[in-house]
């Protein structure tokens, strides 16, 4: 069970009082969908406490803040780094250096602001199904990103995502995809499965474009993918709800 707890410790701010080794890290990817469900559950519990006390827009802002807090802003940081790097239009090595820089540029700030505003707007319109929508989005994103981990080489020699690709065996990938599909179906039915399919398509398209420019992917790219798929899933569920 240590790989599962490693995934919790890595992807969230939830304290896990255990010591881990490299094998726990490389095996942890199989449990990303379960961590996505855990994140959704925490957010749903928080929303249950505030839903009756605030109007939809304020509720959506607070839920989004909880979402950022529970993940420690890990994926949002990756999103900003990726857009700073790609937005520089430099050679691959220079873009990687920009992405590694702790300072945030204009492109990164714009990307973060736009993604957060879009999430808030979607959640404000999904108040009747907010908890299930967040769960489906969170699980879809952490399942779909596994396709990128498995599909393209890791670009850096060092980094927090080193070894994840090697540890994501076909058996673990199959388990993760199956569990992710089951969890999104439980959360939102067929609409949840559509979120996962959309997430896979977006990861494939974005991964193809970025890998051509960087000659591979990085942990920042994985984070950007998670943020993008979460947002796209919320928009899809909102669109389906309005049909």
The model's pLDDT over 157-183, given as tens digits with 9 standing for 90+, comes to 777 778 888 899 999 999 999 999 999
138: in domain: yes
165: in domain: yes
8: in domain: no
47: in domain: yes
Q: Torsions phi, psi of 118, nearest 5? A: -65, -40
163: in domain: yes
19: in domain: no
The counts of H helices and E strands in the chain are: 12, 0
Tell me the whole-structure pTM to 2 decimals: 0.95
Question: 131 lies in which domain range?
Answer: 29-237
193: in domain: yes
**Please, what is the average pLDDT of the chain?**
94
Give the contacts of 219 (CB within 8 A, at least 6 positions apart). 78, 156, 159, 160, 161
pLDDT score, position 19: 84
pLDDT score, position 155: 86
What is the number of structural domains in the chain?
1
Q: What tens digit of pLDDT does each residue of 16-63 get?
A: 988 888 888 889 999 999 999 999 999 999 999 999 999 999 999 999
13: in domain: no
C-alpha neighbours within 13 Å on the C-beta side of residue 155: 22
Name the more confident of 101 and 130: 130
């Amino acid at each position: 069970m240590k790989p599962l707890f490693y995934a919790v410790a890595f992807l969230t701010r939830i304290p896990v009082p255990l010591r881990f080794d490299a094998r726990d890290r490389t095996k942890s990817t199989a449990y990303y969908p379960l961590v996505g469900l855990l994140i959704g559950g925490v957010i749903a519990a928080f929303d249950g406490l505030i839903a009756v006390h605030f109007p939809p827009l304020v509720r959506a802002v607070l839920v989004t803040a909880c979402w950022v807090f529970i993940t420690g802003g890990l994926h949002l940081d990756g999103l900003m780094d990726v857009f700073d790097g790609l937005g520089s239009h430099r050679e691959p090595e220079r873009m990687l250096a920009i992405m590694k820089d702790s300072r945030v540029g204009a492109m990164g700030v714009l990307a973060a602001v736009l993604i957060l505003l879009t999430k808030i707007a979607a959640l404000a319109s999904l108040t009747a199904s907010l908890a299930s929508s967040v769960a489906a989005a969170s699980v879809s994103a952490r399942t779909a990103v596994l396709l990128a981990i498995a599909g393209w080489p890791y670009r850096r020699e060092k980094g927090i995502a080193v070894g994840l690709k090697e540890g994501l065996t076909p058996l673990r990938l199959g388990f993760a995809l199956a569990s992710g599909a089951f969890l999104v179906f439980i959360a939102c039915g067929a609409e949840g499965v559509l979120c996962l399919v959309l997430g896979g398509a977006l990861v494939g398209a974005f991964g193809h474009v970025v890998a051509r420019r960087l000659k591979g992917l990085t942990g920042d790219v994985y984070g950007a993918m998670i943020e993008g798929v979460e947002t796209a899933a919320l928009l899809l569920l909102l669109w389906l709800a309005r049909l």
